[in-house]
A and B are shown apart, each in its own frame.
Chain A
């Protein structure tokens, strides 16, 4: 059981980390609480399914096209829906909720409400320490690690990353230093949704694909981001590990654990917030006036 907990926790943490870091990025740079973030993850899973099963493209081709298409769609949504109401925070909030609902309903209309099965990208399983791990789960782990590495490289080793970090730190000063903050915000939207889309594509064969698959990860992702500190990459990563393992332990160790896993994860978030209101790695911002 211990090995099960270790492996399941690690795989779930990888997926959560991909989602949470993207959400955290877009909040840090543009102060957008993007409720539709996991809806893009759902869209990517559906897109992958449609390309794979209906058109018969290979796994790699379908995955790449799905990620690119969803990212392009997110930039379009940002330009058409979010940018015109950027000054009104409340309007941005329900615009993202409305977007998520629209995606959910469109998928419901197109594919129906039943669960869709997607064939595994890789068959077979490997054995570590007496536990057999399907290759598909290993793939999730590898992809998550690679994407996290890529994001780290982008943020800390490129000029765009510098601009993103500067904008997240202080939007007005970044603007005064000659950075095009609108374009930086758009690039951040693209990066963040691309991460969510990658997560959607790799988990599609393991988790069930249905139009409501965005709700459960949304809540977990929000818990992780708040736990780690809004806008902090390191916080999101560590938060994802904590919540991933807590969920795994609850499911395997408690009776009725499947019902309680969300509740326990959220309780931990609340407990952390009580001790440290700005999350584990959040910065206590000077009150914005």
Chain B
């Protein structure tokens, strides 16, 4: 009985005290148990793609959100993983279960290379320079179609597993592993160094941090996660084509990342889980308007862009931080988070409801222009 009681106590004290952690637990449970209660092939297909793109978006956030290396060419790593895994499994006949890791490894190598070339660039220069790399590769793919399949890409690629449910579980479990892995890394001492590099690289170097080494490590790590997502994508859709390298995909991941809220990992994942099924649903939806049937599929990208634009006007820091601020407050003394309904901090007992005088001071500070 003791382990059970212990587990329940842990659950109550560590997870149920915070709405955000409860939400994450609910999400994981729902994700893993969905095929048991509802195994519609179409829904599973959309969710499998969602899981793959969630992994991709989380990897972008590691690089762009935490380290501040806003990458406009993240599709390069996705495409590197997809093409490597597809080529190895087709031409050499290696099992796809091994080639997806090879894809991730090659993507990590590519990420290291891109990071090495971009070490001296910062800010907008880095963003715009990274935009170039996938396009250079794309040009080469089109110019040498014998090796890459040209515009059609490599198909058919061998499957990892056969049924929709198995595919779903492969994508979901790998996505959970990668996302929680990235989140652990981001929460560790390593992650704190990344925050420092983003906020002030010169100060980080002055404090004795070897920033180039950290940046290269993050480029490789993030690229590996993106490459794994790309390899899964290729084996799931059974094609590794030029669409995995296009500007549209790079921009898509930037939209997901910023829409969800950067430097959070869970933000971009939440954004993908909201936006991707939404766009897929819009593609098939149609409604009656003034006696005519309007096919929403034709205007889905328009609706998508409008939704992103409107949400941003109200939540400029992104969706996840906005929601988190609504359901939780930060203790002014010990900086720990508490549910919004709490009157005193659950850890240090400080009062959480700021009285009138305190809020006035805060407003005065804002007038002085302290950021």
Contact = CB atoms under 8 A, between A and B. Distances in A.
Contacts of A91: 258, 312, 316-317
Contacts of B133: 266, 270
A109 B138 CA distance: 29
B313 A85 contact: yes
A270 B316 contact: no
B131 A99 contact: no
B136 interface: yes
B117 to A, nearest CB: 6
Contact of A259 (B70, B143, B299): B143
B125 A263 contact: no
Given A95-B309, A102-B302, A259 B129 contact: no
A32 B201 CA distance: 22
Contact of A105 (B121, B200, B299, B308): B299
B301 A226 contact: no
A259 B316 CA distance: 39
B258 A93 contact: yes
A98 B258 contact: no
Given A94-B259, A101-B301, A105-B301, A33 B127 contact: yes
Contacts of B18: none
Nearest to B139: A263
Given A270-B129, A289-B200, A219 B309 contact: no
Given A266-B135, A287-B202, A98 B305 contact: yes
B305 A105 contact: yes
Interface stretch (A160-168, A191-199, A272-280): A272-280
A97 to B, nearest CB: 5
A289 B200 CA distance: 7
A262 B139 contact: yes
Contacts of B125: 226, 230, 273, 277-279
B138 to A, nearest CB: 8
Nearest to A81: B309
Interface string A101-122: 1101110010000000000000
Interface string B267-286: 00000000000000000000
B312 to A, nearest CB: 5
A106 B247 CA distance: 20
A27 B128 CA distance: 13
Given A98-B308, A263-B140, A289-B200, A219 B127 contact: no
Given A98-B255, A98-B305, A256-B143, A33 B124 contact: yes
A266 B139 CA distance: 10
B143 A226 contact: no
Which DSSP category, helix, strand, loop or mixed, fits chain B's interface? helix
Nearest to A285: B123
B204 to A, nearest CB: 12
Interface residues of B, number: 43
A219 B129 contact: no
A104 B129 CA distance: 24
Interface in A44-102: 81, 84-85, 87-88, 90-91, 93-95, 97-99, 101-102
Contacts of B139: 259-264, 266
Interface in B166-206: 200-202
A33 B124 CA distance: 8
B136 A102 contact: no
Given A219-B247, A226-B128, A262-B135, A101 B312 contact: no
Nearest to B251: A97
A273 B313 contact: no
Contacts of B298: 109
Contacts of A230: 124-125
A75 B10 CA distance: 56
Contacts of A213: none
Interface in B91-145: 117, 120-121, 124-125, 127-129, 131-133, 135-136, 138-140, 142-143
A223 interface: yes
B44 interface: no
Contacts of B70: 90, 93
Contacts of B331: none
Find the residue from B200, B251, B299 having the highest chain A CB count within 10 A.
Answer: B251
B314 to A, nearest CB: 9
A105 B309 CA distance: 14
B317 A102 contact: no
Given A33-B127, A94-B258, A106 B135 contact: no
Given A33-B124, A259-B142, A102 B313 contact: no
Contacts of A27: 124
Contacts of B140: 260, 263
B254 interface: yes
Given A97-B255, A273-B125, A277-B121, A87 B316 contact: yes
Nearest to A104: B301
Contacts of B237: none
A277 B301 contact: no
Given A85-B312, A219-B247, A90 B124 contact: no
A94 B254 contact: yes
B48 to A, nearest CB: 25
Counting chain B CB atoms within 10 Å of each CB, the highest count among A35, A226, A278, A287 belongs to: A226
18 contacts: A27-B124, A84-B316, A85-B316, A90-B318, A91-B312, A93-B258, A95-B312, A97-B255, A101-B304, A102-B309, A109-B302, A219-B131, A225-B128, A226-B125, A259-B139, A270-B129, A274-B117, A278-B125
**The 5 A-B residue pairs with the shortest CB-CB distance in the complex, in nearest-first order:** A263-B139, A105-B302, A266-B132, A101-B305, A259-B142
Given A219-B132, A270-B129, 8 more contacts: A90-B262, A91-B316, A93-B70, A98-B308, A260-B143, A263-B140, A273-B125, A287-B200
